[in-house]
Structure 1
Amino acid sequence: MTTPAKRQRLAPDQRRKQILAVARRLFGQGCYSSVSTSDIARAAGVARPLINHYFGGKRQLYLEVVRQMLVTPVSVTEHLPRTNPQERISIVVDRWIDVVEHNREMWLSAIGEGIGLDEDLDQVLLESDEVAADRVLEAAMMTDVVEGREQLRAMIRAYGTMLKAASREWLVRGTLSRGDLHIMLTRSALHLLQDVYPAVREQAGPNARPRS
């Protein structure tokens, strides 16, 4: 049973953000089937039709919450120093861990949905993988890579799968500390970009047809 919130006047964009924040908390505490739009409306202090007005319904709201959780936010790669990939990726990983830590329950719920269960949810997961690849390439100063670009993006997407598994070890099992996770994710990304990717390109040979 959710505690009703006191109603207050908010601008449309603020109201939308408020509803999303409440939905993120409630879906994280329960699951999709256990949370109703009435629960969300009551906790947000709004009329239920307002949720439909902003999001179209419970399903669309849930997908937006998952997208918000899984698609790496722009803030993770904003204002990075023009130094080197090592420092930049370390900062990005630290910022990403902050996002996950502050939204622990919803993050675990979102990554637990899995591929193949829902076509729309699958699309959100695929979108999140592509955006994450963009963010990693930006942090590593490799956005202009042409040769083997799709191979490189495939490797980063595979790294993302490991990242999700490692986050469970930290958040659920407690087998990794935050510091352990930071070292693991930072050094794994650097190894992938600086050692594995060049080795794959070298194996392809000088006559390999570039992938774009």
Structure 2
Amino acid sequence: MARGLINHYFGTKRELYLEIIRRALTVPRLAVEILPEGPLELRADVAIEWFLDMVTSQERMWLAAIAPEGIGRDLEVERILEEADRESADRVLEAVGLSRESEHGAQLNALVRAFGGMVKSAGREWLVRRSLTRAQVHLLLSKSLVTLVGEIFPAIQAEPPRGAPPAPRQGESG
């Protein structure tokens, strides 16, 4: 690519580099749009299959970005990684008809980011350590995602919103 094009579209080579990282690590809206109608198990299975295909196609970049030491100590890259985690969690919430803007959205987004930590660890077990197969990682992630969305999310949503007074206990008046 000609330097003039880089400067025109991105400003600098560094801005191009940062945009590549951002795009490689953020789950795009397309990933939500391609999910089939149907039960949660089918949607989770398709979502995890799409994710594993994406990781396979960008293996080196993905592994470098999720490594415990990251891509070096770069505050701007760390900010992009955090933003990518939040946006990717938002895509998961969108896929199940929820939003970070909902009553418990911040907690649900945090739960998905915690799930993302497991995703990254499972990816390293598969791609780096070779201690898990792709099929085993697929099974782990899809079953965990179904449990998260089908059981954990409803339990969190049943709690009173943060800052609300606790509900009276049985036998107490409100």
The TM tier, using the shorter chain, reads: 0.7 to 0.9
The Cα offsets for residues 110-144 of structure 1, whole Å up to 9 and x where unpaired, read as 22253993222122112211221122122223349
Aligned partner of 1:184 in structure 2 is: 140
Residue 128 of structure 2 aligns to a residue whose secondary structure is: helix
Moved more, 191-200 or 92-101: 191-200
2-structure distance, mates of 1:192, 1:116: 32
CA positional deviation for 1:103: 1.0
Aligned partner of 1:209 in structure 2 is: 164
2-structure distance, mates of 1:79, 1:152: 22
Aligned partner of 2:26 in structure 1 is: 71
CA positional deviation for 1:83: 1.2
Asked if the contact 1:69–1:106 (Cα under 8 Å) also holds between the matched residues in 2, the reply is yes
Is 1:84 the counterpart of 2:45? The answer is no
Alignment gaps of 5+ in structure 1? 1-45
Report the RMSD for the aligned CA atoms in angstroms: 2.7
Asked if the contact 1:77–1:139 (Cα under 8 Å) also holds between the matched residues in 2, the reply is yes
2-structure distance, mates of 1:146, 1:195: 18
Aligned partner of 1:124 in structure 2 is: 80
- Normalized against structure 1, the TM-score is what? 0.67
2-structure distance, mates of 1:150, 1:207: 10
- Stretches of 4+ aligned residues off by more than 6 angstroms: none
Aligned partner of 2:117 in structure 1 is: 161
Distance 1:61 1:154, change over 3 A: same
1-structure distance, mates of 2:60, 2:116: 19
Alignment gaps of 5+ in structure 2? 166-174
The Cα offsets for residues 141-188 of structure 1, whole Å up to 9 and x where unpaired, read as 334983422111110111111111111111111111111111111111
Task: Give the AA of the match of 2:36.
Answer: P
2-structure distance, mates of 1:205, 1:143: 17
2-structure distance, mates of 1:181, 1:52: 41
Distance 1:118 1:206, change over 3 A: closer
Is 1:95 the counterpart of 2:50? The answer is yes
Task: Give the AA of the match of 1:77.
Answer: V
Task: Give the AA of the match of 1:190.
Answer: V
1-structure distance, mates of 2:61, 2:161: 46
The Cα offsets for residues 77-99 of structure 1, whole Å up to 9 and x where unpaired, read as 22322212221121111111111
2-structure distance, mates of 1:51, 1:115: 22
Q: 2:12 aligns with which of 45, 57, 72?
A: 57
2-structure distance, mates of 1:61, 1:81: 34
Asked if the contact 2:45–2:142 (Cα under 8 Å) also holds between the matched residues in 1, the reply is yes
Moved more, 65-74 or 193-202: 193-202
Task: Give the AA of the match of 2:94.
Answer: E
Q: 1:108 aligns with which of 53, 56, 63?
A: 63
Query: Taking CA–CA contacts closer than 8 Å with sequence separation of 6 or more, which of the two structures ends up with the larger relative contact order?
Result: 2
CA positional deviation for 1:206: 9.2
Task: Give the AA of the match of 1:58.
Answer: K
